[in-house]
């Protein structure tokens, strides 16, 4: 299974962005940020990989001062692989 996460430095901005995406019809969840993401706030926004372009557009419209990166997550059962996208 693959999905994407949006990583932020600010918990408040993470929660606001997750809500913003939900209000715009994109399924989201707030998840713990993996240590591979580096200096982040501890939580990230999880969303379907297929929604990446819509999420990027939403981020561009809304703007962000604490956005760090997008990661593609491949869940292989016992472990997960992370890739910047």
Neighbours of 64 (CB within 10 A): 16
- Give residue 7's domain range: 2-84
Section 60-73 average pLDDT: 88
CATH of residue 80's domain is 3.30.70
**SS3 state at 65:** coil
Number of domains forming the structure of the chain: 1
The 10s digit of each residue's pLDDT in 20-52 is 999 999 999 999 888 877 767 789 999 999 999
Q: What percent of the chain has a predicted confidence (pLDDT) above 70?
A: 99
Model pLDDT, residue 78: 86
Beta strands in the chain (DSSP E): 2-8, 29-32, 43-47, 67-75, 80-84
| pLDDT (average), residues 55-61 | 91
């Amino acid at each position: 299974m693959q999905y994407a996460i949006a990583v932020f430095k600010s918990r408040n901005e993470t929660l606001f962005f997750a809500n913003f995406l939900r209000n715009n019809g994109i399924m989201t969840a707030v998840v713990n940020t993996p240590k591979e993401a580096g200096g982040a706030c501890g939580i990230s926004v999880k969303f379907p990989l297929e929604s990446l372009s819509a999420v990027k557009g939403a981020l561009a419209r809304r703007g962000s001062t604490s956005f760090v990166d997008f990661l593609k997550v491949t869940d292989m059962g016992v472990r997960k692989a992370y890739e910047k996208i």
